[in-house]
Amino acid sequence: MKLHLRVWRQQSRQSEGSFVTYEADGLTPNMSFLEMLDVVNDRLTKEGQEPIAFEHDCREGICGSCAMAINGEPHGPNAGATTCQVYLRSFRDGQTLTVEPWRAKAFPVIKDLVADRSAFDRIIQSGGFVSVGTGQAPDANAIPIGKGIAEKAFDAAHCIGCGACVAACRNSSAMLFVAAKVSHLGLLPQGQTERKQRVQKMVAAMDAEGFGNCSNQYACEAVCPKEISVEMIARMNRDYAGAVVDQI
Amino acid sequence: MKLDARIPAGPLAEKWTRFKANVRLVSPANKRKYEVIVVGTGLAGASAAASLAELGYQVKSFCFQDSPRRAHSIAAQGGINAAKNYQNDGDSVRRLFQDTIKGGDFRSREANVHRLAEVSVNIIDQCVAQGVPFAREYGGMLANRSFGGAQVSRTFYARGATGQQLLLGAYQALSRQIGLGKVTMMPRHEMLDLVVEEGQAKGIVTRHLVTGELKTHAADAVLLCTGGYGNAYYLSTYARGSNVTATWRAHRRGALFSNPCFTQIHPTCIPVTGEYQSKLTLMSESLRNDGRCWVPKAKGEQRAAVQIPEGERDYFLERMYPSYGNLAPRDIASRAAKRVCDEGRGVGPTGLGVYLDFSEAIGRLGEATVRERYANLFAMYHEITGESAYESPMRIFPAVHYTMGGLWVDYHLMSNIPGLFVLGEANFSDHGANRLGASALMQGLADGYFVLPYTIGDYLSQQKPRGEKTDGPAFQEAMGATQARTKKLLGVNGRKPVSEFHRKLGKTLWDTCGMSRTKKGLEEGLAILGGLREEFWKDVKVPGSGADLNQSLEKAGRVADFLELGELMCRDALEREESCGCHFREEHQTSDGECARKDAEHSYVSAWEFKGEGKSEVRHTEPLSFEELALATRSYK
């Protein structure tokens, strides 16, 4: 199997980038997309060229490191999957694939396909937690939590922080990411005490990082590798409005 | 060298309580004068950094990933053990302790393991309070399932992503402290050396992976929470970035490396399909609650799994280990799978695979229940193989998954270098020669939340805060050595990419120091690895410069360290003339092919000392004494 690649190459944050074409040959459908890049990179190394920089770590869809758009689609063509979970059987022999990093003002490109997503960490640092110190916890079964609530909280908490939602959004909005954490903690009894401050702080941090607004196109939900629902955004908006009204 | 584990006096069940009652403390006003460096942000590192900052220490946290949330603890699937006895099925601290010692085939320290079992209950409380969405029963109480090596249900879980949820809990606690300005977080920093000043660990050297800047950092104590070294085998269930560099560099500075040959091969992973493969994916042990392992009774069976009648199937784990069945511990299940494949009864295109079959569970519980329990694992399997495990059995094969070996630590989790503490998978302490499922998450969080915050005070209370100055000769020397090494890697300018050396190292270790080992094989392995190391430094090609993001340079440094470690793994396996847990020496087996332990000669922890470049390492031993549990032959039959 053979693929034609157009890959975004950019030396550093300051420099300008461009697409460079590579031929990838001798592939098999059972290879993962990232394994195909490994093969290309080994060849480039042998030829004395710098390999394509890209982020990846667990290669099983949970760490959130891998982050690239394939033919314009964040994480490529498969629903509910990260880039590392895309296998070449998803493509046609001889197909041309354009590979590029996330594009968003709040995610500046560092090199090639690597973007800086530290804005997400700063949003969590602003309030995405329950303020409980080590040793302060009551018995784990002291507060019953209905199975339905626990399941819903898990659905939100399953976010891997990859940033595909931002990359897919025409406004580069981080609403799905922020809403997932607001909902995860807001659904659980343990998160109630700080619920109102949390949503306000996290939304303020999100705005300060330069992410755009939500205009209800649902592109984020369509590309989310954990299939997190835009319902979470509605829940966050409701929490936010409630918190603001309470202050009046 | 005499190794003093500093185990407190008194009856086993009271040691930790007595220790806490007598431990020296640092007063609240003085805590902020001490700097602590924490390397790694997995369960052990994130929980330790957060807890220490809450106590008032100045903390600097480092990780090589772009965010602390990406540490590989995130990928743990199945669950976390705790002796809560919420199921009323006879569990207790004592029983968790016994299961863990037995599971580790009597090669771990009783006192450490008992403490682990004691604090396990606090971990679950802490995580629930943080908002970890564990699975619940309809009445709102926490749900449990069972894992290998236990006859009770004590495993707490969050679907198939327990590690993710626990890590996010610790990451959020850490993020809170970063937001409060109590932790300085340095992502994209890789530790490349340890600074030992006047015999004490006082700092580290890091490389900023984006700018290439090398820098020294000083502190009053250094915590290594950098995970295991299973990527020495190239193919493993580890993240691609997981590496041994931090602990190996500390080892070269004098920290003893214990039991390096104890590596866990997990029985249920998706089999290898080709040469290009970069990663093996685990299918959680929790699947063995409902999945049944089998191979055809006949060699060379050509029919599809579903066409093979019940009577022609060999449910080999149920046959060989009737009392634990499919939930036999990992080392035992892996060896059993290898054995049936060696007999020519393996399945799949390579013959290196066995079936994990859910049809009985689907019949008993209905597909909806099976889906609820394991949907994400079945989806993962489908993505990788293109096959549906609802319709035909999964094909699985053992793969490298965890390392029980690591830096030697005492009861305080301190290495033999004062001030250097080692937590989680990076130390050797609690799992002996085989770790039980759902115990890695327990140990990482026990060390970080509930053990180290006590023991570090005992050390720091005897130290004067040293301040942030990094101009001493020890710092300059470590900096110079790191610069020289980086230059050397970039300067070889050979022909082969790093991955070629890594693959060959991995294959050699898998063949000689894998699921079964022989004297002859290990000696051959050592010869190959010696040559490979020489070739690496003559012929490796690292393009680019050291002054920016250079992933080839990162990999080269890590593989260079794996090459040295690989030799030590083989030597350790060679000198342990017995079989125990994961370490199966073919020369030492019982008539029915089980491990033959040699307690009189080998009831010890090995602890290797680096003696300098080109010199042989020297092995010390810490004898293990079993006061509470009688040394018994492990049986799961």
pLDDT digits (tens, 9 = 90+) for B491-545: 999 999 999 999 999 999 999 999 999 999 999 999 999 999 999 999 999 999 9
- In this prediction, residues A106-119 reach a mean pLDDT of 98
Strand (E) or helix (H) holding A115: strand A114-115
Q: Which residue among A60, A129, A190 sits closest to B380, beta carbon to beta carbon? A: A60
The pLDDT, as a whole number, for residue B103 is 95
What band does B290 get if pLDDT is binned at 50, 70 and 90? very high
What is the SS3 assignment for B221?
Answer: strand
Q: Give the model confidence (pLDDT) of B78-120 as tens digits.
A: 899 999 999 999 999 999 999 999 999 999 999 999 999 999 9
Q: Which residue among A110, A150, A154 sits closest to B549, beta carbon to beta carbon? A: A110
SS (H, E, C) B4-63: CCCCCCCCHHHHHHHHHHHCCCCCHHHHCCCEEEEECCCHHHHHHHHHHHHHCCEEEEEC
Q: Encoding tokens for residue B123?
A: 């971990």
Q: Give the model confidence (pLDDT) of B206-224 as tens digits.
A: 999 999 999 999 999 999 9
Comparing CA positions, the residue from A225, A230, A226, A232 lying closest to residue A73 is A225
pTM of the model: 0.97
Question: Percent of chain B having pLDDT more than 70?
Answer: 100
Q: Which residue among A11, A42, A58 sits closest to B74, beta carbon to beta carbon? A: A58
For A81, name the nearest residue in chain B, comparing CA atoms only: B383
Q: Which residue among A35, A118, A140 sits closest to B66, beta carbon to beta carbon? A: A118
- In this prediction, residues A153-176 reach a mean pLDDT of 98
Q: Taking CB atoms and an 8 Å cutoff, what residues of chain A touch B86?
A: 141
The pLDDT, as a whole number, for residue A154 is 97
- Cα B441 to Cα A115, B113, B229, B279, B380: the distances in Å are 30, 14, 17, 21, 22
The pLDDT, as a whole number, for residue B169 is 98
The pLDDT, as a whole number, for residue B291 is 95
- In this prediction, residues B52-70 reach a mean pLDDT of 98
Q: Note whether ipTM > 0.90 here.
A: yes
The CA distance from A212 to A220, in Å, is 13
What is the SS3 assignment for A87?
Answer: strand
- In this prediction, residues B178-204 reach a mean pLDDT of 98
Q: Give the model confidence (pLDDT) of B422-472 as tens digits.
A: 999 999 989 999 999 999 999 999 999 999 999 999 999 999 999 888 989
The CA distance from B328 to B147, in Å, is 9
Whether A66 and A83 have beta carbons less than 8 Å apart is answered as: yes
The pLDDT, as a whole number, for residue B503 is 97
Domain boundaries, chain A: 3-111, 118-247
The pLDDT, as a whole number, for residue B636 is 86
Q: Taking CB atoms and an 8 Å cutoff, what residues of chain B touch A111?
A: 210, 548-549
Residue B361 makes CB contacts below 8 A (sequence gap 6+) with B290, B291, B370
Domain boundaries, chain B: 266-401, 473-623
Q: CA quadruple B212, B213, B214, B217: dihedral positive or negative? A: negative
Q: Give the model confidence (pLDDT) of A179-213 as tens digits.
A: 999 999 999 999 999 999 999 999 999 999 999 99
The CA distance from B626 to B107, in Å, is 10
HSE-CB for A108 with a 13 A CA cutoff: 10
Q: Give the model confidence (pLDDT) of B254-287 as tens digits.
A: 999 999 999 999 999 999 988 899 999 999 888 9
pLDDT at B615 over 90: yes
Side by side, the strands of the sheet bearing B618-623 are B406-407, B257-258, B604-609, B618-623
CB spacing of B168 vs A118 below 8 angstroms: no
The whole-angstrom distance between residue B196's C-alpha and the CA centroid of its chain comes to 26
For A63, name the nearest residue in chain B, comparing CA atoms only: B70
Q: A3-111: which CATH number, 3.30.470.20, 1.10.645.10, 3.40.50.2300, 3.10.20.30?
A: 3.10.20.30
- In this prediction, residues B402-417 reach a mean pLDDT of 98
The pLDDT, as a whole number, for residue B374 is 87
The CA distance from B278 to B555, in Å, is 14
Distance from CA of A203 to the nearest CA of B (A): 15
Whether A125 and B179 have beta carbons less than 8 Å apart is answered as: yes
Q: Taking CB atoms and an 8 Å cutoff, what residues of chain B touch A157?
A: 131, 133, 158, 165, 168
Record: fold of B266-401: Flavocytochrome C3; Chain A, domain 1 (3.90.700)
The pLDDT, as a whole number, for residue B634 is 86
Chain A interface disruption, residue of B142, B159, B168, B380, most A CBs within 10 A = B168
Mean pLDDT of the residues in chain A: 97
Whether A88 and A27 have beta carbons less than 8 Å apart is answered as: yes
Q: CATH for B473-623? A: 1.20.58.100
CB spacing of A144 vs B141 below 8 angstroms: yes
- Cα B77 to Cα A93, B144, B328, B343, B415: the distances in Å are 35, 14, 18, 31, 30
Distance from CA of B497 to the nearest CA of A (A): 6
The CA distance from B518 to B512, in Å, is 7
Q: Taking CB atoms and an 8 Å cutoff, what residues of chain B touch A140?
A: 84, 124-125, 127-128, 134, 142
- In this prediction, residues A34-53 reach a mean pLDDT of 97
Mean pLDDT of the residues in chain B: 96
* The domain made up of A118-247 is a member of CATH 3.30.470.30: no
CB spacing of A46 vs B499 below 8 angstroms: no
Q: Which residue among A49, A78, A132 sits closest to B130, beta carbon to beta carbon? A: A132
